[in-house]
Structure 1
Amino acid sequence: MRGQNPLESQVVESLSDPQNQGHPLHETLSQLWEAHHSLLNRIERIARVSDGYQSIVRDREMTLSARFDKQLRQLEKVARISDRYQTMLRDLNIALKEASTHDALTGIANRRLLTERLREETERAKRYSRPLCVVMVDIDRFKAINDDYGHEVGDNVLMEVVRVMEAEIREHDLCGRWGGEEFLLLMPETSTESAVRVIERLREAVANLRVRVNDDSLSVTVSLGMAQLRADENYSSAINRADVALLRAKRNGRDRYELAD
């Protein structure tokens, strides 16, 4: 209970003085004093309820703030996980696309990618009347290499030949594995004369290649057949003509190139 002020003390003294018991205002003052106390008690209860309510509101606000902060942290965590997942998914898609368009052993374009590029370059060559050459490349006596030295050495030969070919072709040419020991060179914006200089340089570079086999070294050669796309044919026809030229190079002694009709 709070302390009394001077007026309240004076009222208390007046009500407790026996000489004032018969005063006509004593009863009225006594009732007024009781009403005053009742009002004070009511105000104090209201104040306590108000303080309690404010405390509850404050606690609730802190609880809501804490819950909001927790949910915000959870959302940030989910966002980070989502970002990592999106990055992993993007990397996976790139890896899957790479696996679907490139040869697993040598890392160069596979037949699928070669076919796509052949279609695109053929359309472009015909639209703008530009030259386009295709070259079939085959490693000579590759079956004998596998039979005599084993498939591991054969794989090494494939990778070494690919390394030489990629070093000798031009930046805008495409080298891909057509199948087995057979490769295809796609040479856009290239006439027969220009292509001959490139493939002859490539043939010589492969002929100078030596593949290590234990303490020995293995010589490798390639045969090549080349065809320039005709205005009235599709890329399949040009490849068939290059393949016929390749067979002719094989029959004429290998380690050489032949031009299609």
Structure 2
Amino acid sequence: MSFGKIAPFRSRLLPMPECPRHACNEDELVTQVQALLADPVHQANPLREPLAHLLACNQVHQAQLHRLIRISDGYQYISRRQQENLEQQYERQLHRLEKIARISDRYQNSLRELSETLKQASLHDPLTSLGNRRFLMERLTQETERANRKASPYTLAILDVDRFKTVNDRFGHEAGDTVLCSIANAIADALREYDVCGRWGGEEFLILMPETPLDFALQIAQRVTQSIKAIRFEFLDTRISASVGLSTYCLGERFSDTLNRADAALLRAKVDGRDRIEA
């Protein structure tokens, strides 16, 4: 047996210091191994070379492990940054979309308001604020359909301001505009709530009286002309008057026929001396 040869070998090894349990760590163990390999006493020890090789391999593996750890940490850092960037991008995009939605809502509201404003402007006379000719034509169409459906005729009145051209020629168009605005207000105040009044053109006004027979429409026209005569202007030494032509709608006819009869009645009133109501 070879036990007698092992004893001298063991006597040449320095005893390994004991590490208390839970006290030694890897760095301390490496330091101890390095100290043993550096000790000249162990230069001839046959385990020195394998131990040195093992230590070198361990150092290589440790370096590779640290490199892998750094790479892993780097990937995790990049992943976190990417995730944060995605979240930030999402938040920015969400805020942008919310802003666009708010702008779109405001834009649509503005368009609706502008559309309504333009519609009102297209249907009203800018001087008197009464309905214009287009407005009156639409109301005539509607009222004609309703009159035929309910078998209840309406009456039209075309009113023309007497000698209005003289006012413009003597006092200018600004004075003429003042007269027209005052007459428009007087007409509106003298009518019933459901009557329709508008500026037909120039110094002419059209009055639409729904479901109104001719005799009652005549009373309303007289009230309107009296209201116009009551207006006073500082620059005029005479009262303003108006001539009126009346016509009642005949069921089934075109409203243009009713307008033509009212216009003809107005012409008779002008020819017969003005400041008159003809039907």
**Length-normalised TM-score, structure 1:** 0.86
Partner of 1:132: 154
Contact kept, 8 Å, 1:156 with 1:211, in 2: the verdict is no
**3-state SS, counterpart of residue 136 of structure 1:** strand
Residue 122 (str. 1) matches residue 144 (str. 2): yes
Partner of 2:195: 173
Cα distance in 1 for residues equivalent to 2:179 and 2:267: 21
**3-state SS, counterpart of residue 66 of structure 2:** helix
CA change 1:101–1:237 in 2 (3 A) is same
Kindly provide the CA deviation profile for residues 161-193 of structure 1, in whole angstroms up to 9, marking residues without a partner as x.
Answer: 001111121222111111111110111122223
Partner of 1:49: 71
Q: Which runs of no fewer than 5 residues in structure 2 stay unpaired?
A: 1-24
Partner of 2:168: 146
Alignment of 1:154-193 (within 5 A): 154-193=176-215
What amino acid is aligned across from residue 221 of structure 1 in structure 2?
Answer: S
Alignment of 1:176-255 (within 5 A): 176-213=198-235, 219-255=239-275
Contact kept, 8 Å, 1:207 with 1:220, in 2: the verdict is yes
What amino acid is aligned across from residue 228 of structure 1 in structure 2?
Answer: T
CA change 1:16–1:217 in 2 (3 A) is farther
Partner of 1:113: 135
Cα distance in 1 for residues equivalent to 2:144 and 2:251: 10
CA change 1:8–1:251 in 2 (3 A) is same
What amino acid is aligned across from residue 231 of structure 1 in structure 2?
Answer: L
Contact kept, 8 Å, 2:153 with 2:251, in 1: the verdict is no
> Percent identity at matched positions?
45
Partner of 2:80: 58
Contact kept, 8 Å, 1:212 with 1:218, in 2: the verdict is no
What is the CA-CA distance between 1:67 and the residue it aligns to?
A: 3.9
What is the CA-CA distance between 1:160 and the residue it aligns to?
A: 0.5
Contact kept, 8 Å, 1:136 with 1:185, in 2: the verdict is yes
**3-state SS, counterpart of residue 212 of structure 1:** coil
What is the CA-CA distance between 1:20 and the residue it aligns to?
A: 3.3
> Is the deviation greater in 35-44 or in 84-93?
84-93
Contact kept, 8 Å, 1:160 with 1:211, in 2: the verdict is no
Contact kept, 8 Å, 2:157 with 2:244, in 1: the verdict is yes
What is the CA-CA distance between 1:153 and the residue it aligns to?
A: 0.8
Cα distance in 1 for residues equivalent to 2:215 and 2:46: 138
CA change 1:87–1:232 in 2 (3 A) is closer
Cα distance in 1 for residues equivalent to 2:173 and 2:42: 128
Cα distance in 2 for residues equivalent to 1:91 and 1:105: 22
Kindly provide the CA deviation profile for residues 90-134 of structure 1, in whole angstroms up to 9, marking residues without a partner as x.
Answer: 233223222322222212111112111111111110111112111
Calculate the aligned-residue CA RMSD, in Å: 2.3
**Length-normalised TM-score, structure 2:** 0.81
**3-state SS, counterpart of residue 207 of structure 2:** strand
What is the CA-CA distance between 1:55 and the residue it aligns to?
A: 2.7
* Count of matched residue positions in the alignment of Structure 1 and Structure 2: 255
What amino acid is aligned across from residue 48 of structure 2 in structure 1?
Answer: H
Cα distance in 2 for residues equivalent to 1:115 and 1:229: 15
Cα distance in 2 for residues equivalent to 1:38 and 1:14: 20
CA change 1:232–1:46 in 2 (3 A) is closer
Kindly indicate which of the two structures has a greater share of residues assigned to strand.
1
Cα distance in 1 for residues equivalent to 2:177 and 2:28: 111
